[in-house]
Structure 1
Amino acid sequence: MACLCTVAAPSVHHGYAQTSHEAATDFPTGETSDALQDVEALCALVREHYVYFAPREDVWEATCEAARDAALTEAAATPAGHLELLEHMLDQLWDNHASLNINSSTSPRLVPSGSDYWLDFKGGDAVVTAVRPSSGAAKAGLEVGDRVVAMTGMPVLSAASDRIRYGRNAVSEGRLNWALNAQAAGYRGQMRGVTVERGGTELNLLLDEPMPEPPDEPVTYKRLEGNIGYIRIEDSLGDEAAVAAFDAALEALNGASGWIIDLRNTPSGGNTGVAEPMLGRFIRGVKPYQKAGPRWEGEAVRHVASRGPWRVKGRVAVLAGRWTGSMGEGLAIGFDGLRRARVFGSPMAALAGGVESFQLPASGWSVRLPSYNLYHMKGMERHVWHPPYPVIADNGDGPDLALQAAEDWLSR
């Protein structure tokens, strides 16, 4: 039987820790009536609190109608069936920032924290535009530019349609891209097969677990050629220890002629209590770095204050890509909005808005929904902002093109 597991829900922050659900504990069972009660509650929560509800309203109402019937079936009487029903419902929002705080051993992997390659629909083809270094996809030989023609033996569009249950007659490009990447990540415990076309030849690849081996430290650093200080945040923007580790990295690299801050391994997001102290080492005084939308009940403009025994001076390059998620995206737009760095890379994870957690009444599980929007200081929504110095950010185990671009600029 699949194990049901929970992960502690994070506090509400401008940035959100999208957990990968790898560290979890057992959760008690539920009953058929519980499923129906949770379905009704989830339907109401999305209508009332989900900030991106308007373009999804018709699909959501169809989802709720079908889910009410499904909640009364024998399958929903089991805890695994109860959970699977709620997961299928959230799929219909096509939003990687909407999730539950519980998972089973067969639950969908979260994107981006549980994914290892990225697809974009271009000219009628599903094209690989990013491969996570040292991941299952990278080790299997998947490359940026590959055209995916099948997933686990199914034509790629048929595989994607498995995650699109309602409104198939008018699927937007954004929803199709969501479905492609959801299927690319697959389900926990599932091996993934992918067939790609490369240079006129079809290749069948078998992908192992997507997540690379996590580093031992929350922050890693080194001094590069030309006296460039390089600091990489290792998916630790939700870990308070990362602030001290970041400060220690700055001290070790003090005197560097230029700086690279690598945010390409921050898929789980984090919170402002960790990110803002890092950003504060690069400015003087108190400055605005991010805006929040009208549903946010706090300050409309988020500020950061200078901090530390000394301020980082000189040129700064920031690296961002598809595994720059949520609070990592907030840092990227913050550096750019403060005009304190050049941001190199490709489109980020596009985890939209700020997330709040809401408890479901029957199971006690929590659902996380984007309830307010977040913006660059220039007014652009955070999830549609792209690094202004474009370069392939996530090139698998191939050359690190983004790092090379940053080094070239800093060395001029």
Structure 2
Amino acid sequence: MSDLLYSLRYRFLVLVLLAWAPLPLVGQSVPLTPAQYQQDFEYFWTTVQDNYCYFDKKQTDWPRVRQLYAAELPTVTTRAQFVRLLENALAELYDSHASLSTNRPDSRRLIPTATDVWAQFVGSTAVVFDVRRGYGAARAGLQPGMELVAINDVPVAQALQPFLGRSLKTVDAAAREVALNLALAGDHRTPRKFTALVKGKPRHFYPDQDGLQLEHIGSSTLLESRRLGTVGYIKLHNSLGDNRLIAAFDSTLTTLQGTTGLILDLRETPSGGNTTVARALMGRFITQEQVYQRHELTAEQRQFGVKRSWLELVSPRGPVYSAPLVVLVGRWTGSMPEGITIGLDAMKRATTMGTEMARLNGAIVSYRMPNSGIGFSIPTERLFTPAGLPRENFVPAEYIQPSAAPADQVLEVALQRLGGRGGKP
């Protein structure tokens, strides 16, 4: 083997830096044999075993996963059954950056791409942390700070049980939080009902009462922009995986060159993107080549005991926008936009505002099983700030707690910071 990195990254895979949006499950014209299902499962299990880079912070017993799910393989006779087995096995990692390329109608929605609420535990109490502006949970009246007591009439403690892995040595806080948010995400066909306490009394919320909007998230435009007084504002529409964004961003930035400051809103970018687009955008704000993140490939160290890490650079590109810059982030800022945020922060080129981001682990690689053709993506590279902080642990410089206020408080604070005059968010 001439180069481990080559063999890891380019055989049976395509390197991407965003979580896949699952494709609809389609019929299988020729059923696989039991031996083929076994071969695909072994390929899946071994690939994760050899390349997944976050086992050290998980309670997952991956050899136990092999035992548990291999025992179920003799009952698998259809593609749909195999997809469910793979979903359950992958869920043992409780990692929202690990996913399949396909799904069933009763599969859970992807976190954070297809969710509209984020919750976390405060002790044993499930509390709404944030709701996604413009989507069902917010329209139904769910607000940050509310205590959740039931999901589809099932008490929260019971509702999350199906999403806790069977192989876990112990159920840690991270596993409970992922399970809670999977329960809240719902599946692709069932309307959700949340019960929360409002002034001490239970109240029901129906985020899907106007239809399953989360099944049709999308925008006809790559970005939106406007002037807010003397300040420019650019919001990306989850488009960091589309190379056309480079030209659209350049054109927009040209029209905003006369502004006294710029707000770059990354709060609606949950599906990640690619480094080409990310570096293109960051390159418009710097005058010299700079480091924006550090990579670490753990597979080589695991196999040979030799650590492999490197720094990634951003180069200046085009006319530089030199006025002050504020970057807005939140729970629906996922993967590549997290990289942009830590990069602009490390280069001391922007003030970051908002809350924790999606905290998606590392950079992912996508693989495809030899018989079924089912793809799966897992984090294989750890990502850090240039100073060594894990990307998933980054917190914006100005932390703004989500609130129930109808106004966009994060945008208001950004405008105040930039001294915007004469414009309203």
TM-score by length of 2: 0.88
Counterparts of 1:180 and 1:89, CA distance in 2: 18
Q: Please, which of 253, 263, 268 is the counterpart of residue 266 of structure 2?
A: 263
Give 1:217's aligned residue.
Answer: 221
Give 1:231's aligned residue.
Answer: 234
C-alpha displacement at 1:336, in angstroms?
Answer: 0.5
Q: Number of matched residues? A: 396
Secondary structure of the equivalent of 2:103?
Answer: strand
Residues 1:81 and 1:169: Cα distance change in structure 2 (over 3 Å): same
1:216-257 residue CA offsets vs partner (Å, 9 max, x unmatched): 2101101002x1000011100000111111111111212000
Counterparts of 2:298 and 2:27, CA distance in 1: 33
* Aligned residues of 1:347 and 1:387 also touching (Cα < 8 A): yes
What amino acid is aligned across from residue 137 of structure 1 in structure 2?
A
C-alpha displacement at 1:104, in angstroms?
Answer: 2.2
Give 2:254's aligned residue.
Answer: 251
Give 2:4's aligned residue.
Answer: none
Counterparts of 2:404 and 2:108, CA distance in 1: 23
**5+ residue gaps in structure 1?**
1-8
Secondary structure of the equivalent of 1:356?
Answer: strand
* Aligned residues of 1:322 and 1:347 also touching (Cα < 8 A): yes
Output aligned runs, 1:2-401, within 5 Å: 11-13=14-16, 16-21=17-22, 24=24, 26=26, 28=28, 30-31=31-32, 33=34, 34-56=36-58, 58-73=60-75, 76-167=76-167, 170-208=170-208, 209=212, 211=214, 213-225=217-229, 227-295=230-298, 300-308=310-318, 310-392=319-401, 398-401=406-409
Secondary structure of the equivalent of 1:374?
Answer: strand
What amino acid is aligned across from residue 31 of structure 1 in structure 2?
L
Residue identity (%): 33
What amino acid is aligned across from residue 234 of structure 1 in structure 2?
H
C-alpha displacement at 1:144, in angstroms?
Answer: 0.8
C-alpha displacement at 1:11, in angstroms?
Answer: 3.9
1:19-43 residue CA offsets vs partner (Å, 9 max, x unmatched): 333x658352543513322222222
C-alpha displacement at 1:44, in angstroms?
Answer: 1.2
Q: Please, which of 385, 405, 412 is the counterpart of residue 413 of structure 2?
A: 405
**5+ residue gaps in structure 2?**
1-11, 301-307, 421-425
Q: Which moved more, 1:359-368 or 1:252-261?
A: 359-368
1:139-167 residue CA offsets vs partner (Å, 9 max, x unmatched): 21111111111111111121111111325
Secondary structure of the equivalent of 1:41?
Answer: helix
Q: Which moved more, 1:28-37 or 1:136-145?
A: 28-37
Residues 1:102 and 1:58: Cα distance change in structure 2 (over 3 Å): closer
Secondary structure of the equivalent of 1:145?
Answer: coil
Residues 1:173 and 1:79: Cα distance change in structure 2 (over 3 Å): same
Counterparts of 2:20 and 2:55, CA distance in 1: 23
Counterparts of 1:296 and 1:397, CA distance in 2: 46
TM-score by length of 1: 0.91
Counterparts of 1:90 and 1:259, CA distance in 2: 41
* Aligned residues of 1:231 and 1:262 also touching (Cα < 8 A): yes
Secondary structure of the equivalent of 1:232?
Answer: strand
* Aligned residues of 2:224 and 2:236 also touching (Cα < 8 A): yes
C-alpha displacement at 1:200, in angstroms?
Answer: 1.1
Secondary structure of the equivalent of 2:206?
Answer: strand
What amino acid is aligned across from residue 408 of structure 2 in structure 1?
D
* Aligned residues of 1:131 and 1:396 also touching (Cα < 8 A): no
* Aligned residues of 2:325 and 2:350 also touching (Cα < 8 A): yes
C-alpha displacement at 1:54, in angstroms?
Answer: 3.3
- RMSD across aligned C-alpha pairs, in angstroms? 2.1
Secondary structure of the equivalent of 1:77?
Answer: coil
Residues 1:167 and 1:105: Cα distance change in structure 2 (over 3 Å): closer
Counterparts of 1:85 and 1:264, CA distance in 2: 33
* Aligned residues of 1:220 and 1:233 also touching (Cα < 8 A): yes
1:316-372 residue CA offsets vs partner (Å, 9 max, x unmatched): 110000000000100110110111011000010011011111222221211111011
What amino acid is aligned across from residue 121 of structure 1 in structure 2?
F
Secondary structure of the equivalent of 2:269?
Answer: coil
What amino acid is aligned across from residue 269 of structure 2 in structure 1?
T
Counterparts of 1:273 and 1:52, CA distance in 2: 25
Secondary structure of the equivalent of 1:282?
Answer: coil
Q: Which moved more, 1:274-283 or 1:36-45?
A: 36-45
